[in-house]
Amino acid sequence: MATNMTTVDISDEEARLLDDTNKDFFNNGKTDIKCPRCGGAIVLAQFGTSYAIGCEHNCVNIVYRGI
């Protein structure tokens, strides 16, 4: 697993949920998991060798750095 960091403060529970979402994206190309704070969609954004997974409204996210 790539190292990761957050750009917003999230709880351990929220970090686990985003990790589950990450696995969903890799296994299924999509996820049914919703943002724990606002119920919005969780989206994946790729930039260079890094990518971020988080709420579409940016309440929660994790950045996964280079593979």
Residues that bind Zn ion (CB under 5 A): 35, 37-38, 40, 55, 57, 59
Task: At 31, list the tokens.
Answer: 């996820």
- Using CA atoms in the order 29, 32, 37, 38, what is the torsion angle rounded to 10 degrees? 100
CB of 14 to Zn ion, least distance (A): 10
By beta-carbon proximity to Zn ion, the closer residue of 30 and 37 is 37
| Strand pairing report for 50-55 and 42-47 | antiparallel
By beta-carbon proximity to Zn ion, the closer residue of 9 and 48 is 9
Neighbours of 61 (CB within 10 A): 19
By beta-carbon proximity to Zn ion, the closer residue of 23 and 37 is 37
CB of 17 to Zn ion, least distance (A): 11
Task: At 47, list the tokens.
Answer: 């930039």
CB of 56 to Zn ion, least distance (A): 7
